[in-house]
Amino acid sequence: MDTPYREPPVSTGTPLIEMRGIERTYVMGDNLVHALRGVDLTIAAGSSIAIMGTSGSGKSTMMNIMGCLDQPTGGSYLLNGKDVARLSRTQLADVRGRMIGFVFQSFNLLSRTSALENVEMPLMYQGIPGRERHRRALGALEAVNLADRADHHSSQLSGGQQQRVAIARALVGEAPIIMADEPTGNLDTRTSFEVMAILQGLVDQGKTIILVTHEADIAAYASRVVTLRDGLIIDDRTQTPVKAEVAA
């Protein structure tokens, strides 16, 4: 029997993610693909970090492991002090649901469904009753300045608005971590700034933002940039983030 795992509260500045010697090897027929070859990474709560690197360097593999969607084949991963590298699938899903909200390049919204219903979706899976779902989903839409679009179908929204709905969906479960894989990959420059302004605002409220990007302009909004190459971290620097200003 799996015992449900309850993690302690997250406090700003303490290590939220601690990876030591993380390896991920895929078996492809007779070949082994070493996607991660010993990654050490500690991420403090309340920070923003951009993961960069060329295609095939291991960014998505690392994001999947950090996001508890996949498990390493070697090394240890402490998420908020708890070793998640060896949890069962159910326990992992449970931790993921409470700790992490995901944002994807392609938004992943249901098209003939209102913004509000899209944001409510994760709460439905948690069995939260209708009124409570509505209230919380509306609050999350307010946080991304889209409360006035709650009834619009996603197909009636611009790309930037759709990504903001997706951010609201990532926020609604009140997870402390937001992970975004190329969140601005399908957006033009101006709209990318809007999305980055929202993500920066979340850091100011204590969220931890981890984003994968191959664009230096986008990484500039993070307080730390980690670069991968061939499954290893080759560069790790902190910086003063560029402030994302939204033109009035």
The binder of ligand ADP chosen from 47, 48, 57, 154 (CB under 6 A): 57
Minimum distance between the CB of residue 102 and ligand ADP, rounded to whole angstroms?
A: 15
The binder of ligand ADP chosen from 19, 41, 48, 61 (CB under 6 A): 61
Of residues 58 and 160, the one with the C-beta less far from ligand ADP: 58
Out of ligand ADP, Mg ion, none, which partner does residue 205 contact, by CB within 5 to 8 A per kind? none
Q: Which residue has the tokens 């931790």?
A: 95
The binder of ligand ADP chosen from 6, 13, 28, 131 (CB under 6 A): 28
**Segment lying near ligand ADP (by CB under 6 A), choices 49-57, 72-80, 126-134, 182-190:** 49-57
Out of Mg ion, ligand ADP, none, which partner does residue 162 contact, by CB within 5 to 8 A per kind? none
* 55 in contact with ligand ADP (CB under 6 A): yes
Q: Give the number of residues in contact with ligand ADP, rule: CB under 6 A.
A: 12
Tokens of 241: 């983030």
Of residues 100 and 244, the one with the C-beta less far from Mg ion: 100
Residue numbers at the binding site for Mg ion (CB under 5 A): 59-60
How far apart (Å, rounded) are the C-alpha atoms in residues 205 and 224?
A: 18
* 26 in contact with ligand ADP (CB under 6 A): yes
* 33 in contact with ligand ADP (CB under 6 A): yes
* 31 in contact with ligand ADP (CB under 6 A): no
Chain positions contacting ligand ADP, by CB under 6 A: 26, 28, 33, 35, 53, 55-61
